[in-house]
């Protein structure tokens, strides 16, 4: 029998939960409510119920929480990003700190000290250095749009914006995004208006036709600017649009295009073509320069990345005669950042283009005590690798959200290095891994860092030290 939806009135929101949702409880039932704030009293619609919990839509706010603020973004509530814009930033930080602590307490089986106060982001808007937009003929329609459609009125269905969560073919047309600094919004609006004015075909995700597919904008703390346009073909229309973009924004440092004829939007296996300028932009940190190409990974919040790396470096406490391993090194940002303190740094990364960037960054900064190795961490991080590259004194690990492979954990337990610095973007998988390391390692310090204001995501840095061996 189909579930029958029902409403609950004047429900008290008591805490923040996973995935940016708030939590309420009634008669032993845990209810998850998006866009609600702890302290709110709200009306909700229960649309899904399982054993012990339910999912609800927010219908109305009867009494707003004192921690509720007015979101500045006109797309809030529809766009899938920035789900905490309605929550005071100080409260966001409190909940993120609690998220780390709760994950450690409930998912981990190890002792840990009191967490150091979370490091908040100085910029809470316009902090991202990279955004990706999608051209589409299938704009997400508001209730007003649907009314106009039913009345037979014309409305524009071409759009340039973000995917609606859970809908592969619906794009929210973006007028102003609060995530990336100028001239990001101006570039997007120009691309959209130029394409419409000159009748360039937008991509149809169902028919898989259309010239314009994606737009990527990258900015750097140095002022450098990269724009990447993805077409299904590079014809005269595409070339004219690229030239128009050059004329309108002469300060673009790197203007690149990609031809994607595939059925998906993945482009990192495709060649990138330089149209104007240089094929990279430059980031800078403590006088170190980092080349960022179209395919390069770089932390999305440049300023907060610097704070994150400073914490990792402080926790590592590297001495001049020590060898450091940087696991999951990416483009070698951490490896190069700490190299001047160490005797030698060995970085391991499975993406070969990232390793090429890491080597280039070392060369560009005249760093000669780094070595970067390409390979799958779970397969190459072995006794043989250690014998070849030297035994580490310190390990820094910054794995993806899934955490570290069991093989890597096993090797760390065998190695028994004095200090491990574990940088994580997922405290849940970090708690799992710390439990596995607990037989030999003690958690000495825990430092959360907020990289993404107005989201539930939090970075966390942990210092592990080797437990004393019992006689």
Domain boundaries, the chain: 6-68, 94-123+290-466, 130-285
Domain 130-285 part of CATH 2.40.50.1070 = yes
Per-residue pLDDT at 379 exceeds 80:
yes
In this prediction, what percent of the chain has a pLDDT beyond 70? 99
Take residue 426 and report the two structure tokens written for it.
Answer: 């997922």
Take residue 307 and report the two structure tokens written for it.
Answer: 């704070």
* Tens-digit pLDDT profile for residues 145-188: 777 777 777 778 999 999 998 777 899 999 999 999 999 999 99
Average pLDDT over residues 204-210: 92
Average pLDDT over residues 311-329: 98
* Tens-digit pLDDT profile for residues 90-113: 999 999 999 999 999 999 999 999
Q: Cα angle vertex 120, ends 114, 124, to 5°?
A: 155
- The continuous run of DSSP H or E covering 434 comes out as helix 427-437
Q: Is 399 helix (H, G, I), strand (E, B) or coil?
A: coil
Confidence at residue 20, expressed as pLDDT on a 0 to 100 scale: 83
- Find where tokens 């409510």 sit: 33
Per-residue pLDDT at 362 exceeds 80:
yes
CATH of 94-123+290-466, one of 3.40.630.30, 3.40.50.150, 3.40.50.300, 1.10.760.10: 3.40.50.150
Confidence at residue 440, expressed as pLDDT on a 0 to 100 scale: 97
Closest to 82 measured CA to CA, from 460, 456, 462 = 456
* Tens-digit pLDDT profile for residues 242-270: 999 999 999 999 999 999 999 999 998 99
* Residues annotated as catalytic (active site), given as ranges: 425
Confidence at residue 1, expressed as pLDDT on a 0 to 100 scale: 64
DSSP structure class, residue 30? E
Following CA atoms 358, 363, 365, 369 in sequence, which dihedral angle do they give, to the nearest 10 degrees? Answer: 80
| Contacts of residue 76, Cβ cutoff 8 Å, sequence gap at least 6 | 82, 85, 86
Average pLDDT over residues 187-212: 96
Q: What is the DSSP string of 262-298?
A: SSS---TTS--EEEEE-S-EEEEETTEEEEE-TT---
Confidence at residue 416, expressed as pLDDT on a 0 to 100 scale: 96
Backbone torsions φ then ψ of 93, nearest 5 degrees: -65, -40
Sort residue 423 into left (φ over 0), alpha (ψ -120 to 50) or beta: beta
- Asked if 306 contacts 129 with a C-beta cutoff of 8 angstroms, the reply is no
* Tens-digit pLDDT profile for residues 218-248: 999 999 999 999 999 999 999 999 999 999 9
Confidence at residue 82, expressed as pLDDT on a 0 to 100 scale: 93
| Least-confidence region, from 11-20, 344-353, 366-375 | 11-20
* Tens-digit pLDDT profile for residues 110-150: 999 999 999 999 999 999 999 999 999 999 987 777 777 77
Average pLDDT over residues 435-445: 98
Mapping DSSP onto H, E and C, the string for 251-267 reads CCCEEEEEECCCCCCCC
Per-residue pLDDT at 302 exceeds 90:
yes
Tell me which architecture the domain covering 6-68 has in CATH: Beta Barrel (2.40)
Take residue 344 and report the two structure tokens written for it.
Answer: 């030698």
- Topology match between the domains 6-68 and 130-285: yes
Per-residue pLDDT at 55 exceeds 60:
yes
Confidence at residue 297, expressed as pLDDT on a 0 to 100 scale: 85
**CA end-to-end span of the chain:** 65
Per-residue pLDDT at 326 exceeds 90:
yes
Average pLDDT over residues 26-38: 94
Average pLDDT over residues 63-77: 96
Per-residue pLDDT at 386 exceeds 70:
yes
Confidence at residue 469, expressed as pLDDT on a 0 to 100 scale: 78
| Residue that wins the pLDDT comparison between 392 and 151 | 392
**Mean pLDDT taken over the chain:** 95
Confidence at residue 470, expressed as pLDDT on a 0 to 100 scale: 58
Per-residue pLDDT at 296 exceeds 90:
no
| Contacts of residue 345, Cβ cutoff 8 Å, sequence gap at least 6 | 323, 324, 325, 326, 335, 336, 338, 339, 369, 370, 371
Banded pLDDT at 471 (limits 50, 70, 90): low
Report residue 441 CA to chain centroid gap: 29
Confidence at residue 146, expressed as pLDDT on a 0 to 100 scale: 76
Q: Rounded distance, CA 105 to CA 71, Å?
A: 32
Q: Where are the alpha helices (DSSP H) in 19-137?
A: 89-107
Q: How many residues does the chain have?
A: 471
């Amino acid at each position: 029998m189909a579930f029958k939806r029902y409403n609950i009135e004047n429900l008290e929101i008591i805490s923040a939960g996973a995935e940016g949702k708030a939590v309420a409880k009634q008669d032993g039932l845990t209810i998850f409510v998006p866009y609600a704030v702890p302290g709110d009293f709200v009306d909700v619609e229960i649309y899904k119920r399982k054993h012990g919990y339910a999912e609800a839509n927010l219908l109305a706010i009867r009494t707003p929480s004192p921690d509720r603020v007015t979101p500045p973004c006109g797309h809030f509530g529809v766009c899938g990003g920035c789900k905490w814009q309605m929550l005071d930033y100080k409260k966001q930080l409190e909940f993120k700190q609690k998220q780390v602590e709760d994950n450690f307490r409930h998912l981990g089986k190890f002792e840990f000290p009191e967490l150091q106060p979370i490091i908040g982001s100085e910029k809470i808007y316009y902090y991202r250095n990279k955004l990706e937009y999608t051209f589409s003929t299938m704009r997400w329609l508001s209730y007003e749009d649907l009314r106009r459609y039913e009345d037979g009125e014309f409305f524009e269905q071409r759009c340039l914006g973000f995917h609606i969560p859970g809908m592969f073919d619906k794009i929210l047309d973006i007028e102003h995004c609060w995530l990336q600094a100028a001239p990001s919004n101006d570039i997007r609006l120009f691309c959209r208006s130029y394409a419409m004015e000159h009748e360039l075909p937008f991509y149809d995700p169902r028919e898989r036709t259309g010239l314009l597919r994606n737009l990527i904008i990258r900015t750097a703390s140095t002022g450098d600017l990269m724009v990447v346009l993805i077409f299904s073909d590079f014809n005269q229309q595409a070339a004219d649009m690229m030239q128009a973009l050059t004329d309108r924004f002469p300060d673009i440092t790197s203007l690149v295009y990609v031809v994607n004829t595939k059925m998906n939007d993945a482009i990192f296996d495709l060649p990138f073509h330089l149209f104007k300028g240089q094929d990279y932009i430059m980031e800078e940190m403590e006088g170190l320069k980092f080349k960022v190409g179209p395919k390069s990974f770089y932390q999305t919040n440049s300023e907060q990345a610097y704070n994150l790396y400073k914490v990792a470096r402080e926790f590592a406490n590297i001495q001049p005669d020590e060898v450091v391993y940087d696991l999951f090194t990416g483009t070698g940002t951490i490896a190069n950042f700490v190299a001047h303190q160490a005797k030698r740094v060995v970085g391991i990364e499975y993406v070969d283009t990232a390793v090429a960037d890491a080597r280039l960054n070392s060369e560009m900064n005249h760093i000669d005590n780094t070595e970067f190795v390409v390979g799958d961490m779970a397969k190459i991080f072995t006794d043989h690798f250690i014998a070849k590259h030297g035994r580490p004194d310190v390990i820094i690990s910054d794995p993806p959200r899934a955490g570290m492979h069991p093989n890597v954990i096993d090797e760390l337990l065998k190695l028994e290095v004095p200090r491990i610095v574990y940088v994580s973007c997922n405290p849940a998988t970090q708690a799992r891994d710390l439990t596995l390391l607990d037989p030999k390692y003690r958690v000495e310090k825990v430092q959360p860092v907020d990289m993404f204001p107005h989201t539930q995501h939090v970075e966390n840095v942990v210092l592990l030290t080797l437990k004393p061996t019992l006689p």
